[in-house]
A and B are shown apart, each in its own frame.
Chain A
Amino acid sequence: MSTTPFEKLITRNWGKPGSHTLDGYKKNGGYKALEKALEMGPAAIIDAVKKSNLRGRGGAGFPTGMKWSFVPRDSPKPKYLAVNGDESEPGTFKDRYILENDPHMMLEGIAIASYALDVHTCYVYLRGEFKKQAEILQKALDEAYQAGIFGKKLLGRDYPLDCYVVRGAGAYICGEETALLESLEGKKGWPRLKPPFPAVVGLFGCPTVVNNVETLASVPHVIERGAEWYAKLGPERSGGTRVVCLSGSVNRPGVYEIPLHVTVRELIESPQYGQGMPPGRKVKAVIPGGSSAPVLSGDEIDVALEFEALKNVQNMAGSGGVIVMDDQTCMVRALWRVARFYAEESCGQCTPCREGTAWQTRIIRAIEEGRGQPGDVEKLLNVVQAIAPYPPIGLGNTICALGDAAALPTHSFVTKFRAEFEAHIQEKRCPFGAGHHGWGHFGSGGFA
């Protein structure tokens, strides 16, 4: 671990005047990396991204350079870059702030990636609810066009590059990369069977790379400072820094850029991050990587918020959404809130997910409302196994990972907090509850 003070990368310009404008970005050294990249050439850029150990920041953590290298260089078809700004995973709100505070950092990453991948058309797909963010990004893009960064020439080079902002219309599934492509093609967001992977058959049947907003915003740093420097910031196999989103029962929720050795506990307690729990509360449980990640109990939170470290405890870094639950939280109700989300957002294509997400939600709700029957916990685990047969690992019975994402939290809540589920069934009520819509289930929240 390095002893030099931590240097922010992705969030370094946030809060500076005009950080969302071209002038502001350039004042802080912006678009220098693009100049350097154009000198390096495509092969060297891809090589640098590979060596940097940059991993996808959307949820799966796939090595970015490897993804880029899957694009067939000799394809006669046009190639596309699709940016995944569908950020909809409960507990996740970092891409939103990147778009609001520093859209040019991502645009510079887009320009570098496009040049490296022989892409001349890029679509930035933002979730439909990101109206303000789409407006900020469009303004930034207009500035970049006027400055000759996008458009007919890429920084004066004979390389046309167009970039369009597209808004979704409210569907979590469109964050799944092939559903995103379907949506970009003007269809409902039904994930595609893979293989073929998008790098070979993607948008309009053409080779396509799908990268997350933060991933692309990381690319200029890899190029500017060098792959080795970037790789050394993190542990083996994960380069750079990470932007995490802290929410729930904690004194200072928000977006924090952290070095990859910071643990869940440090994120919650440190004066520079979460500043601890509300008075008198203790950590009962934490979801470390967006609601699709298994839950950690309060005594499991000394784990670094990093891909391999979390994988080693059979969890996942996911989208960086860290949700903190305190000792007054009813875990059955918390799980019901999570399960309900997946039942709402299941696209309906695969039977195990479509039926399973709704079924588990009904069982959890019945338990929470005091209508649970002896044996319901086993039934719940059975439903979960029908969606994802190998908990706590994914690889389930469905085309995309939404089924796993719905099943694995349930498996972890039930196995780690089983006594609470059984108590609901035995007492025929929620032991935390203060009536329908009461405060009790979640302690006293912010709305009072």
Chain B
Amino acid sequence: MANEALFTPAEQMKFDQELSEILSHYPADRKSAAMLPALRLLQSIKGWLPPEGMTLVAERLETSVARVYEVATFYVMFHTKKPGKYTIDVCTNLSCSLRGAESLLAYLEKKLGLRAGEMNEMFYLRETECLASCGTAPCLQVNEEHYENLTRESVDELLGKLT
């Protein structure tokens, strides 16, 4: 099977340019230090970390593919499997739970027809750990955007926008 190109030419240019800026932040003999920013860059372009993208990161950072996988699978914000279009992370830690997070999660599970941890093409619903929004609980995150002080109305409104 012929390999499709990882990037479009425009994506390739963005990746190359931003990676060289990132690498300038680190000592020349410490390229692999740029791992997290490089993976974030890849994910911002592709929506996840496809295997051939991780191989590319390994090449550019002059490290092994195993090291890239090790890092990619350690941090929860990195997706090594293609997620739904919207990853919804609901905080269910103590401060949020004291302010209704369990009900928020149950409400989302019902609305989306997904249990926490499950995904479909549109949504990947997860329970997540404390998002530093304890004073504005309950909260959730859609991809990398925060939503706080949630009510049924604001959740309905938010879900309406996720198309």
Contact = CB atoms under 8 A, between A and B. Distances in A.
A171 B74 contact: yes
Given A93-B133, A129-B77, A337-B92, A186 B61 contact: yes
Interface in A219-253: 245-249, 253
Given A188-B71, A246-B135, A291-B93, A446 B149 contact: yes
A380 to B, nearest CB: 18
Interface of A: 87-93, 95-96, 123, 127-132, 162, 164, 166-172, 183-189, 204, 245-249, 253-255, 287, 291, 321, 323-325, 329, 333-334, 337-338, 341, 344-345, 347, 437-439, 441-448
- What 6 pairs across the A-B complex have the smallest Cβ distances? A445-B100, A447-B100, A186-B35, A169-B75, A247-B134, A188-B74
B82 interface: no
B75 A171 contact: yes
B74 A448 contact: no
A171 B130 contact: no
A221 B112 CA distance: 50
Contact of B95 (A88, A127, A162, A323): A323
Given A166-B25, A329-B98, 13 more contacts: A170-B76, A185-B30, A186-B32, A187-B67, A204-B33, A246-B135, A247-B134, A248-B98, A438-B102, A445-B99, A445-B101, A447-B101, A447-B103
Contacts of B92: 337
B6 interface: no
A166 B27 contact: no
Nearest to A93: B132
Interface stretch (B9-17, B117-125, B136-144): B136-144
B135 A447 contact: no
A123 B152 CA distance: 40
B40 A253 contact: no
12 contacts: A123-B25, A162-B25, A167-B40, A186-B33, A187-B35, A291-B130, A337-B92, A437-B103, A437-B106, A441-B102, A446-B138, A448-B152
Nearest to B136: A253
B97 A442 contact: yes
Contacts of A341: 93-94, 129-130
B132 A88 contact: yes
A255 B132 CA distance: 11
B131 interface: yes
A227 B131 CA distance: 35
Contacts of B4: none
Nearest to A287: B94
Contacts of B137: 247, 253, 446
Given A129-B77, A291-B93, A92 B32 contact: no
